[in-house]
C-alpha cells in the first residue's frame, strides 16, 4: 500500500529523517511506501486544507473504524455529503493583515 504524504517544506521533512530514526533496511522499506507531495512555501490554501481535514476528523474519523474498506466507504460518503453541502470558508485575511503578518515579504518604500 502506498501512503500519500502531504507535508510542508520544513527542512526536517525529508526521507533523511527516516534514516536518522530507523535502521537502514526499515527506513528504506518505509520510504518506498511513501508518495511525498510538498506544499508551496507560501501556500495559504494549506490553511483551508487543514480546516477541511479537521472537519473530516471530527465528523467521520472520530472513532475506531474496524477495517480499511469501511473507512474508505465512510470517507467517500462523507466527502460526497460535504461536497453537496457546498460549505465555504469565510477567509478574512485582509491585505492589511497580510502586510503585518508577512512583513518580511513586503518591500519597504
Domain range holding 99? 42-109
In a shared domain, residues 49 and 96: yes
Closest CA to 97 of 44, 40, 39, 41: 44
Give the chain's domain count. Answer: 2
Question: Angle between the 68-85 and 45-59 helix axes, to the nearest 10 degrees?
Answer: 120
pLDDT tens per residue across span 19-45: 889 999 999 999 999 988 877 666 666
User: What pTM was estimated for this model as a whole?
Assistant: 0.48
In a shared domain, residues 21 and 63: no
In a shared domain, residues 63 and 30: no
Contacts of 40 (CB under 8 A, 6+ apart): 46
pLDDT tens per residue across span 45-104: 667 778 888 999 999 999 999 999 999 999 999 999 999 988 777 767 777 887 787 777
Amino acid at each position: 500500500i502506498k501512503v500519500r504524504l502531504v507535508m510542508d517544506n520544513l527542512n526536517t521533512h525529508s526521507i533523511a529523517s527516516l534514516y536518522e530514526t530507523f535502521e537502514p533496511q526499515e527506513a528504506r522499506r518505509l520510504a518506498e511506501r511513501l508518495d511525498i507531495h510538498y506544499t508551496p512555501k507560501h501556500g495559504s490554501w494549506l490553511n483551508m486544507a487543514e480546516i477541511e481535514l479537521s472537519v473530516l476528523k471530527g465528523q467521520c474519523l472520530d472513532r475506531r473504524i474496524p477495517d480499511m474498506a469501511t473507512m474508505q466507504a465512510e470517507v467517500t460518503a462523507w466527502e460526497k455529503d460535504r461536497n453537496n453541502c457546498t460549505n465555504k470558508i469565510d477567509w478574512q485575511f485582509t491585505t492589511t493583515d497580510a502586510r503585518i503578518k508577512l512583513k518580511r515579504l513586503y518591500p519597504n518604500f
